[in-house]
Amino acid sequence: MADTWNVQGKTVVVTGATSGIGRETALALSGMGANVVLAVRNQAAGQETAAIIRRVHPGANVEVGPKLELAQPSSIRSFAKEFQKQKRPLHVLVNNAGANYMSDGLSEEGVPLLTQVNYLGPYMLTRLLEGSLAASAPSRVINVSSVTHRYGLIDNAASFLSRSATAVGGQYPATKLGNVLFTYELQRRLGHMGVQACAVDPGAVSTNIYKDSRLFMRQPLKWLIENLYAPPRDGAAAVVHAATQPWQRQPRRRGLLSKQGSGPLLNQRSNSDTWFFARGTFAWPAITGFKGQQEGIVGSLRMQAWAIRALSLSALDWPLRRLTRGKYLSVTKAVPSAPASYDQDLAAALWDLSADRCKLPREVSV
């Protein structure tokens, strides 16, 4: 990547921008001079968000794009078609929109709705816009993942995208692992064209994603989320960093993973860089060093120990940053993602099968 990166005057699309991390990301990037397109399903809420941004940043270049409903492949196609009709550049695509605790159901293509919204929808949108991204290079795709991807499991691509498969460890973590696998495969396939891809863990953030959870809306977890988790503005910091800062390269050592927190991670087989950003305690080795779920009693005990450690650190992250007024735990770093996210065979198979489900060519079309 270039030594400098400035979003001023560049076109940025942010999905899920009517609340939470998406709204704060759009607000921050508008304040930096970007031409921001809000890709949302609720157009009225999108107009309200645009009005808020203009009040905070008078003269901001922000607009509500065509309706985008990630649960409906036809809506994704319509959004991409209308965007490309305008023949405008696309320098940054922020795939932020996501969900959890959705009711059972299938998309138009027969994919479980949560998998469709969190994984296949962003995949399809990115693929349909890959021509605009390549033509605008250098450009970036930023996929918002989660710390939960570290215990997500995907046995194989077909089961992940099928109704019959409820991923071990939970469907939501599996979709977030899918985000990272897609990110790295995107980097391998489009990186040489100047389209750079990264995944981001925004940390523990108090957003609407918990509102439909029976577990997290009960005490004491509800109190923890409302009082100890970061507000969306703080949670957006890692996403904004990925969109606006140069991705510094550091000396790398041979092997799959570089030194934690020091720079990009070397992909052994393709020699391409893979990027995963995290901030505060979520960039600590205590979190990033987890090897993923393992079989047996020992594996179960390790999983439980990591879960307790992760929950404890998530409750300390924002309070410590707030108490020190940002002097502590504010740095965003490139860190190792889950070991499972570096499975190139699985990533390639998932890419190809996703293309088939979306009725798209397996090979990039630029």
Instruction: Answer for the pair 150, 292: CB distance below 8 angstroms, yes or no.
Output: yes
Q: How many CB atoms lie within 10 A of CB 136?
A: 20
* Model pLDDT, residue 256: 43
* Model pLDDT, residue 261: 36
Residue type, 161: L
Q: What's the pLDDT tens digit per position in 9-32?
A: 999 999 999 999 999 999 999 999
Averaged pLDDT of the chain: 88
pLDDT score of 318 more than 90: yes
* Model pLDDT, residue 293: 85
Segment 85-101 mean pLDDT: 93
- How far apart CA 245 and CA 332 sit, in angstroms, is 10
pLDDT score of 2 more than 60: no
Instruction: Answer for the pair 17, 49: CB distance below 8 angstroms, yes or no.
Output: yes
When pLDDT is cut at 50, 70 and 90, the band that residue 1 belongs to is: very low
Q: For 175-189, 213-227, 235-249, which range has the lowest pLDDT when averaged over its residues?
A: 213-227
DSSP state of 117: I
Segment 60-69 mean pLDDT: 97
3.30.70.140, 3.30.43.10, 3.90.245.10, 3.40.50.720: CATH of 11-357? 3.40.50.720
pLDDT score of 212 more than 90: no
Q: Which residues are catalytic?
A: 172
When pLDDT is cut at 50, 70 and 90, the band that residue 241 belongs to is: very high
Instruction: Answer for the pair 14, 94: CB distance below 8 angstroms, yes or no.
Output: yes
The model's pTM is 0.91
Does residue 319 have a cis peptide bond before it, meaning omega lies within 30 degrees of 0?
no
When pLDDT is cut at 50, 70 and 90, the band that residue 251 belongs to is: very low
Residue type, 73: P
Length of the chain, in residues = 366
Domain ranges of the chain: 11-357
Q: How many CB atoms lie within 10 A of CB 117?
A: 23
Structure tokens at 11: 């076109």
Residue type, 109: E
Who wins on pLDDT, 357 or 101?
357
Who wins on pLDDT, 1 or 220?
220
- Cross-strand bridge partners of residue 94: 14, 142
Q: What's the pLDDT tens digit per position in 261-316?
A: 334 444 444 435 789 999 999 999 999 999 988 888 988 899 999 999 999 999 99
* Model pLDDT, residue 301: 92
Q: For 107-121, 140-154, 175-189, which range has the lowest pLDDT when averaged over its residues?
A: 107-121
- How far apart CA 258 and CA 260 sit, in angstroms, is 6
- How far apart CA 317 and CA 284 sit, in angstroms, is 11
φ, ψ at 200 (rounded to 5°): -130, 135
